[in-house]
Every structure is written in C-alpha cells, then in structure tokens.
Chains A and B, each alone.
Chain A
C-alpha cells in the first residue's frame, strides 16, 4: 500500500484516499455564457503527464480536499498541500 499525506491527518494508507481529478481546473461560471468546448475541456481534458502530476484528492476519514503532487512513473509522493490554508 502506498502512503499518501493528508494535510491534516498526516501520512496514511492510500486506501483512506479517493482521487477526485487533476489539479488546476477551474469550474466555469455557469451563470454566464460557457461554450461547449469550454465546458467539455473542464470535464474531459486531462494532461496525464508522465512524471510529476498535480492531483486533487480527498482523505475520506476527515474529508479534507487537498492537492498532492506525485510522480506518475515512480509513484513517489512529492508533497501535499491544503487548499484551505493552515489549520487554526
């Protein structure tokens, strides 16, 4: 089992985590006009890089949604960063 890092809970077994999507996508403002291509890219575009990838994961025991950078070849975890800033 791989070890992933939750920004709150620390290093945990990969089975506690759920992959959400590639990082860097911004949901278009659907109250304004959004083109078909724009929406489709948001849903379907994946860079799927060989090497360092930045991904959004959630840690199911605490439901923290965060960004993790990993190496898709070596499986190394490079870092995890919270999307919500430091814990108060």
Chain B
C-alpha cells in the first residue's frame, strides 16, 4: 500500500519519437487491427505474411498462428462468431500500440532484445522481444521494422528500447 506515483514516469512520456546512431523510433497510428481466427484462415488469406517478409501497403495481413491472422487497416467486420464463414473476429485496434524502428541499426537494436536475424525465417510474426509478447515484421523497406505491443506495456517497451539504444551507443573506451 505504498504511493508509487513518483516512482513511475507518467504514462505516455516514453512514446515520443527518438533518434539515435543509425536508427529512428516512433509511434504509428493504425486505423484498425482485427484478430481473425478460423481453422483454415491461412488458406483463405494466402497474403498473410510472417518474418522476414517485407510487408507493403496501407492494408495488410499478419500471419500469427496456424489458425489466426491480424488484419491491419482492413474493411470493417462485425465482432463475434460468423457461423457461415466459420470465423471469429475481434476488434483489437486499441489493444495494440504500433511502433516503427527504421535505419541501418534497426536489427542491431532489436538484437538487444531477442536472438533475431533476417536469415532465420518464421511463419509467424509473433515473438518475444525485450521480454514482451509482440508482433514484429519488416515494413516497406529492408531495414524498417514495425512492432505491435500490448497497449498496457507500450510505455515499458519503449523504455526498454530507449535504454537498449543508450547501451548500444555507449562506448566501452
């Protein structure tokens, strides 16, 4: 029962754009994000991409599981179970904060938080990064990565990334 209001920096402060040596970190607004689950969803949506595919465009689909995708900026679909299409839909637009890391040191920065490389493919964009469960994928260019983080942990994730960037840029000499 301890008043910790001073211990934690006010929520939202960490989300500001920051730049460093060979990278840029910023928050991106999404129109909509929807979880769509169906046992054959990947056959229905062959355009669902994973890692290290470079995803382009305003609207796209992320492959998350054998039976789930995340539709980004797609057309509106009603939440719930559609028994005709046999699919489940949930709006998660406000559940995920989206960050974008760009620049030649993007991968070097991400390697502070996971054993990750552009040479090791994965069918899913879902992984752990700095201990947080995220969706991560390349976007528009080979050294730009978008990361979807649970809303409640977006401050902590941004803080972890900032600190890692500071460590990365600190010289040992």
Contact = CB atoms under 8 A, between A and B. Distances in A.
Q: Do chains A and B touch in the complex (CB under 8 A)?
A: yes
Interface of A: 1, 6, 8-13, 15-16, 60-64, 84, 87-88
Given A8-B65, A10-B121, A12-B122, A61 B128 contact: yes
Given A9-B124, A10-B121, A10-B122, A62 B65 contact: yes
A88 B39 contact: yes
Given A64-B65, A87-B66, A9 B128 contact: no
A1 B115 CA distance: 9
22 contacts: A6-B124, A8-B65, A8-B66, A8-B124, A9-B123, A9-B126, A10-B120, A12-B127, A13-B115, A13-B128, A61-B124, A61-B126, A61-B127, A61-B128, A62-B65, A62-B66, A62-B68, A62-B124, A64-B66, A87-B66, A88-B40, A88-B42
Interface residues of B, number: 20
In this complex, the member of B42, B124, B133 whose beta carbon has the largest number of chain A beta carbons within 10 angstroms is B124
B26 to A, nearest CB: 24
A20 B43 CA distance: 30
B30 interface: no
A6 B121 CA distance: 13
A11 B66 CA distance: 16
Given A9-B127, A88-B42, 4 more contacts: A16-B128, A64-B66, A88-B39, A88-B40
A61 B120 CA distance: 17
